[in-house]
Amino acid sequence: MSLSNSATRYGAVTKTFHWLTALLILTLIPLGIYANGLPYDTSEELAQKAWLFSLHKTLGVAAFFTALARILWAIRQPKPGLLHADRKLESLAAETVHWLLYGSLLLVPLSGWVHHASTDGFAPIWWPFGQNLFFVPKSETVAAAAAGLHIVFERVLAASILLHVAGALKHHIIDKDVTLRRMLPGSPSVPESDGHHRVALPIFSALVIWGAALVIGSTLDLYASHTPVAVSASLDEVQSDWVVQEGELAIVVQQMGSDVRGVFADWTAQISFDETIATGVAGAVEVTISVGSLTLGSVTGQALGADFFNADSFPTAVFQADILRSDAGYDAQGTVTIKERSMPVTLPFTLDLVDGVATMQGSTQLDRRDFAIGDGQKDEGSLGFSVGVAVSLIASKDR
């Protein structure tokens, strides 16, 4: 059997690409559906779900590059002629389905890859080239849109596969021609055919179908985030000697060995501070955090759920501390209260004061077990016990 195509036959390379792609796609679709439905309440369940999703994502990347190589090979090869070119409508439908298959084989894994790259979370791709795409930002909006597109393109791909298989069986069983046998191993006897393939109309038809699918996806609101989140607590304004102009309160957790960074969007800080005190207690701070304002990549819903922050029952967390100054710098020493559990904490920080404007940066570590967060996740390999906390802000003295 020749490696290359001819005017009547598919070559060995094309056949190999065809059946390898079929194997990958027919593995990926049920694998993704199965993994998505698995629970993740315990360390063992999370580890299994993450492993299956990593397998799904890794095979998805493999499918993308296999499909890309297949398309590049097909562009360089002659395509065997149509066996029933006189059946205009049937030929148009078949060629439209082929273009839907080619495009969807790229769009499905690519949209999944963009979703993976645009959000933090568990289940890494198993390869040494990193988890990000250079043109994809970390963005919940991008992640939600990519997730919706992944669903839409996957449905188009699944429908195209069904139509493709139905067409092949129709040719084999009803027409009793060699359409299917041309793609099977071996070299069947193939009649000469001068049926030419059309390009413009099938591509246009495929684009119309993709466009209709995208519109349906928009109608179903598939491109917006549907992560179940708690109602964010409304925080009262505070009177403070120092008024925060801008700032960020972030946490970093380790899930399946990877850092997942989250940010609380809503918090208040009541700060008293005397910059003239050289040693000892120089002030105090009380930070109130709306727990429901947390975004934590792809695991936001899980983090706000009952086994973790339980934001519906415990909508706020509080940090109260004295500000201590020494020759070594500054410490905020006090307590953190989460889920009505208070633990002592020290937050070392740097402070720059210029013309009544303070720039502060600090970080510390908490143990999630002290606050009954993730009690079902007892294996640190699945979810780390230590949680990094980082705060930065710019505040001006209230005159």
Tens digit of each residue's pLDDT (9 = 90 or more) over 27-53:
999 999 999 999 887 888 888 998 999
Q: Cα 211 to chain center, whole Å?
A: 23
**CA–CA separation, 50 and 294 (whole Å):** 22
Superfamily holding 242-397: Lipid/polyisoprenoid-binding, YceI-like (2.40.128.110)
Per-residue pLDDT at 214 = 97
State if pTM tops 0.85: no
The residue assigned the tokens 């970080």 is 363
Per-residue pLDDT at 44 = 85
- Asked whether the beta carbons of 377 and 368 are under 8 A apart, the reply is no
**CA–CA separation, 143 and 260 (whole Å):** 15
**CA–CA separation, 372 and 359 (whole Å):** 33
| DSSP letters for 128-153 | SS-S--TT----HHHHHHHHHHHHHH
Return the bridge partners of 248, or none.
Answer: 392
Detail the DSSP E strand segments found in 218-328. 242-255, 258-264, 267-273, 280-290, 294-295, 316-326
Instruction: Give CA angle at 151 (123, 129), nearest 5°.
Output: 35
Instruction: Give CA angle at 312 (309, 315), nearest 5°.
Output: 70
How many CA within 13 A on the CB side of residue 173? 6
Per-residue pLDDT at 149 = 97
- Rg for the chain, CA atoms, rounded: 29
Spans in the chain with pLDDT lower than 70: 1, 191-196, 226-231, 399
- Asked whether the beta carbons of 97 and 160 are under 8 A apart, the reply is yes
Q: Cα 168 to chain center, whole Å?
A: 36
Q: Say which residues have a Cβ less than 8 Å from residue 137's Cβ, sequence separation at least 6.
A: 118
Please name the amino acid found at residue 364: T
Domain ranges in the chain? 12-219, 242-397
Three-class DSSP category at 353: strand
Q: Does domain 12-219 fall into CATH 3.90.1280?
A: no
Interval 285-304: pLDDT, tens? 999 999 999 998 888 888 99
How many CA within 13 A on the CB side of residue 104? 29
Per-residue pLDDT at 196 = 67
Per DSSP bridges, beta strands 280-290 and 258-264 are unpaired
Quickly count: other Cβ atoms within 10 Å of residue 216's Cβ: 12
Per-residue pLDDT at 199 = 81
**CA–CA separation, 169 and 334 (whole Å):** 73
In order of 323, 327, 369, 397, the CA distances from 272 in angstroms are 9, 20, 31, 9
Q: Say which residues have a Cβ less than 8 Å from residue 296's Cβ, sequence separation at least 6.
A: 120, 251, 253, 260, 261, 262, 303
User: Computed from CA positions of residues 142, 147, 151, 154, in that sequence, does the dihedral angle turn out positive or negative?
Assistant: positive
Nearest in space to 389 (alpha carbons), one of 268, 294, 301: 294
**CA–CA separation, 383 and 386 (whole Å):** 9
